[in-house]
Chain A
Amino acid sequence: MYILKVALVSIVLLSGCATIEPYNYGPLKQAAPRSILVLPPMNSSVEVSAPYTYLSTVTRPLAEKGYYVFPVSVVDTFLKENGLPTPAEMNGIALDKIDEIIGADAVLYVDIQDWGQKFQVLSSVTVVQGSVRLVSVKTGELLWAAPINAQYNPNNNSSGGLLGALVVAVVSQIAGEISDNTPQVARMANNMAFNSAKRGLLNGPYKIEKSSY
């Protein structure tokens, strides 16, 4: 029964690749952005630390995709010094201003809906839930969008079977050193969103294709 469950979950996961409608990459291909400005996220979760925790996890997957990513802390400091103290105000900057002052080809807007540890009856689960939108600075056109969703349940050995155990193993392997595990859960969510086979972000100009595949 167990193995059947695992197999089913795996097949659903994998066949997902075949049945999910591919993203319409027309606008992204046409705009072909080289650089991405990530603005500090908007936050409708109750966890006030969520925006800057997420911000610390998003440079890497974007850069590894081959884009120039503007230095998130430098940008944040710069915007604060220029009269925009909160993410809400930063997200309201007009695109022509971004073009003029930062020179980014595209902006990644992040919206966090739910974040952090939820205590349930028998266990606790760490949740990251939100979405990202990549917008062309020149035209305002939406180039790419994806949900950012992941959950981590450390006590999930009973319901998750092998799959759960694997997730636990993967997360605890990289989590170990710090007590706040939301960055790791955010990284899992990012990995699924940016590297999704049919709906992920296309590679940018700095991407080095691996020949070892």
Chain B
Amino acid sequence: METKIVVIGAICATALLLAGCTSTGSQYYWGEYEDLVYKTHHNPDEVPPSVQIEKLQADIDKAKASGKPVPPGIYAHLGLMHAAQGDKELALQSLMKEKELFPESAVFINGIIQRSMTSS
């Protein structure tokens, strides 16, 4: 009897451990970001900047609706896509938003902004 309980307990615990892999209890709203990063490097033709901007903007809206914050990097990545399209104004806005949400990014973001200013 006791061993039976142990067995069932072990199976349940293992199932829980494994189910952890699919846990949806995330702190941030992730949306398409990881998939966009993957495709940026492996299938760039599938995700030109215009497509990425659209998807990231949709994710930002969905995050708002879900009540979860957008994760680190979303706004910076969005800024990179605006810059790739030559839209400096929106690139700057997005980069500043990243810095506002995550002050840890300040050195990196300031550097990017400064260099893009001096190079133009």
Contact = CB atoms under 8 A, between A and B. Distances in A.
B51 interface: no
Contacts of B38: 52-53, 56, 183
Q: Main SS of the interface on chain A?
A: helix
A183 to B, nearest CB: 6
B104 A73 contact: no
Contacts of B17: 13-14
B80 A77 contact: yes
Interface in B1-33: 6-7, 10-11, 13-15, 17-22, 25-28, 30, 33
A191 interface: yes
Contacts of B107: 100-103
A59 to B, nearest CB: 6
Contacts of B15: 166
A57 interface: yes
A207 B27 contact: yes
Nearest to B30: A60
Contacts of A68: 72, 102, 104-105
A171 B22 CA distance: 9
Interface of A: 3, 6-7, 9-11, 13-14, 34-35, 49, 52-53, 55-57, 59-60, 63-64, 66-78, 100-105, 162-163, 166-167, 170-171, 173-174, 183, 187-188, 191, 195, 206-208, 210
15 contacts: A6-B11, A49-B41, A55-B37, A56-B41, A59-B71, A60-B30, A63-B27, A66-B27, A74-B73, A74-B77, A101-B108, A162-B11, A166-B15, A171-B21, A195-B20
Interface of B: 6-7, 10-11, 13-15, 17-22, 25-28, 30, 33-35, 37-38, 40-42, 71-74, 76-77, 79-80, 98, 102, 104-108, 111-112
